[in-house]
Amino acid sequence: MPWFLYLIECDDGSLYTGITTDMQARFDAHASGKGTRYTRSRKPLAVVASFELAGRSEALRAEYQVKRLKAHQKRALVSGERTLDSVLPRQDADAEQTPKRKRRRAEENRTTP
């Protein structure tokens, strides 16, 4: 089942970020005041961006990364100046190394006089 990361623009100009499996039902919940506390105090105007992700864990990781962005970076994501992939951390072998392996690799790369 696909999951969606979405950004909602609120009436105070702020952007709310969340995840769901049903975009319309979730926006309706926000609009009716049954969503999060954040959108209860700031009227949601519209979904300004949504991104389909493979599963819940991917959606949660993406949500975490997007929530860490500054407002202007989120707006760049909404406008298409940035892609969701540019926000997510790289998934390569180095990124998944344990601290012990990282230290060992750093020691191996050190040049000795």
Who contacts 7 (Cβ-Cβ below 8 Å, separation ≥6)?
15, 16, 17, 47, 48, 49, 50, 66, 74, 77, 78
The region of weakest confidence among 16-20, 44-48, 106-110 is: 106-110
- How many CA atoms, within 13 angstroms, populate the side-chain half-sphere of residue 6? 21
pLDDT band at 105 (very low <50, low <70, confident <90, very high): low
Listed in sequence order, the DSSP H helices in 1-113 are: 23-31, 37-41, 56-67, 71-79, 84-87, 99-109
Q: Tell me 72's DSSP state.
A: H
Q: Assess whether pLDDT exceeds 70 at residue 94.
A: no
Going from N- to C-terminal start, the domains of the chain cover: 3-109
Q: Assess whether pLDDT exceeds 60 at residue 113.
A: no
Average pLDDT on 70-95 reads 87
Chain CA centroid to CA 82, Å: 12
Model pLDDT, residue 92: 61
3-109: CATH topology: GIY-YIG endonuclease (3.40.1440)
Model pLDDT, residue 62: 96
